[in-house]
Structure 1
């Protein structure tokens, strides 16, 4: 009789997968993930049927965590531009607080590993869908693959985070400049 699955072990596997992706990208082997989690590779496959399922579940796990941070900073009574700045700051702060998760989620975000179901669930988790739509439906991105606008956003955020990490005393300046760059690209009419 198979032993019951442990939520703690599942979480440990997800955290190990995030660490492995942060180190080696989406090519990180399941043997590495298992080893980092301190379990046999067969145990990983008891929890996740394959690597793609693991990575999709990891993406949603990280995305949900990030969205919880964004939701705490959200005030829907504010105009779009102010909401956008609050969401930007919360996103950058989340990335600073969780550098491994930030790196892993961003590597997963720009791959073909994520399923259509994961992408649908992703949008339903985001606390301010109007903000996403404002940035992706406009003149610059509306006619293109949505992954392109994601990649542009991630590039601006990555530059901001790199400089915040390099010069923490100037974090607020970099966050503001990064937001201004984001707003010019994604919210030109806000």
Structure 2
């Protein structure tokens, strides 16, 4: 009978993969991931059938963490601007507080190794945030734009804002506010 898989080992592999993908890109070797995780190389493939499966699991893990952070919305009684500002603040602050996760997620997001199924699962989990972006853009210049396009613009603005927050931590809050105001004006 096979031994049950250890959640701690799986998490160690995902954590090591996050760090190495952030540092080295998608070419990070599974042997190095295993070494950083403190597990035998073969263990990577016990938990993830292929490197592609590992990258897809990592993508979903990071997306889920991000979505969970930004979906902690204020009450539905708040107006759309307040809700969007909350989304913006939690998203940019998550990125600034987790630069390796953010870099790894950015690289995974543009990778052709991430399956359409994984992308669809991530998109579905972000439904509440995407719906808020749609409501925020209902009256602005982007009101007739495809939702994916509007979402991509918001994501790009968050990314740029977060980059500058990380580079200039003493100005992080000001940069965050400026980014929000610019994005809000573009949407509304």
TM-score (norm 1): 0.83
Distance 1:27 1:171, change over 3 A: same
- Is this contact kept in 2: 1:22–1:104, CA < 8 A? yes
Q: What does residue 11 of structure 1 align with? A: 11
Cα deviation digits, residues 2-36 of structure 1 (max 9, x gap):
32210010011111111111001112121221121
Q: Please report how far the alpha carbon of residue 157 of structure 1 lies from its aligned counterpart in structure 2 after TM superposition.
A: 2.4
Distance 1:12 1:140, change over 3 A: farther
Q: What does residue 124 of structure 1 align with? A: 124
1:112 aligns with 2:116: no
SS of residue paired to 1:72? coil
Cα deviation digits, residues 70-107 of structure 1 (max 9, x gap):
12244333333322211011001111221111111111
Higher mean alpha-carbon deviation, 113-122 vs 130-139, is at 130-139
Q: Distance in 2 between matches of 1:2 and 1:75?
A: 47
- Is this contact kept in 1: 2:81–2:136, CA < 8 A? no
Distance 1:28 1:65, change over 3 A: same
Q: Distance in 2 between matches of 1:21 and 1:140?
A: 37
- Is this contact kept in 2: 1:73–1:90, CA < 8 A? no
Q: Distance in 1 between matches of 2:137 and 2:103?
A: 22
Spell out the pairing of 1:32-51 with structure 2 (5 A cutoff).
32-51=32-51
- Is this contact kept in 2: 1:74–1:87, CA < 8 A? no
SS of residue paired to 2:26? helix
Distance 1:16 1:5, change over 3 A: same
- Is this contact kept in 1: 2:19–2:101, CA < 8 A? yes
For structure 1, which runs of at least 5 residues remain unmatched after alignment? none
- Is this contact kept in 2: 1:141–1:149, CA < 8 A? no
Q: Distance in 2 between matches of 1:141 and 1:115?
A: 25
TM-score (norm 2): 0.84
For structure 2, which runs of at least 5 residues remain unmatched after alignment? none
Q: What does residue 173 of structure 1 align with? A: 174
The alignment's C-alpha RMSD in Å is 2.5
Q: What does residue 142 of structure 1 align with? A: 146
Number of residue pairs aligned between Structure 1 and Structure 2: 184
Higher mean alpha-carbon deviation, 86-95 vs 63-72, is at 63-72
Q: Please report how far the alpha carbon of residue 164 of structure 1 lies from its aligned counterpart in structure 2 after TM superposition.
A: 1.7
- Is this contact kept in 1: 2:130–2:151, CA < 8 A? no
